[in-house]
Amino acid sequence: MARRPRSQLHSPCIAYVRVSTTEQADSGAGLDAQRAAIEAHAARAGLSIDGWHVDAGVSGSVAPADRPALAEALVALGAARSGVLLVAKSDRIARRTLDLLGLCALAERQGWSIVAVDGTVDQTTAHGRFMTTVMAGAAELERDLIRARTRDALAAKRAAGVRLGRPVTLPAEVRARVASERVGGATLQAIADGLNADQIHTARGGARWYASTVASVLKSLDHDAVTREAR
């Protein structure tokens, strides 16, 4: 029987999941999918997960060390000097190649391993370590190309006079309520709490309002006012 890598023989075996927006965090769909993938891999590999670390509503652009849950996981693994960090996909821990490679280097120095169950990262084998470097670079190149194409397409639409942005789907009475309460001195969070208490959905159909959601509505109202003045 093949020997299991040393890092997988010792605790802790830590699972890490992340979603980037409060809407995803609230629905739990993204988190549930990641959990299922990690649990399936752990079952196949005969691993027992010692703990879960969850960063809900944390952007992938945030440095790994600045994410509360991931930082805790890294501290635990570093203290143990062994173990494995399980993630569903490599972009859950790092979107930038340099960040990912930095984490891989840290893991190697401290004696633990990173494994992405989709196969994009596996530090437990020489081939896996090589492929991690190649695939991380390819993924970042793809993201850069997508950003460049999107930027060029938006610039072309602006030049053609196309108004960009999402269509307003929030009822006029809700928009008026938000504006009225804000003018009356209510905080963004107080407005959000009131809308949640009345079970009013957001413009995207979400069931939960946040201060940031209210701020987006107010920003859109300001934009509409400026547009009317310019006409």
Catalytically active residues, by annotation: 20
Residues contacting residue 4 through CB under 8 Å, at least 6 positions apart? 45, 46
**Strand 13-19 with 84-87, pairing:** parallel
Both tokens assigned to 133: 């470097």
DSSP string computed for 131-159: HHHHHHHHHHHHHHHHHHHHHHHHHHHHH
Sequence length of the chain is 231
For tokens 């107080």, what's the residue? 190
- Distance separating alpha carbons of residues 223 and 221, to the nearest angstrom: 5
What's the CA angle centered on 46, arms 45 and 48, to 5 degrees? 115
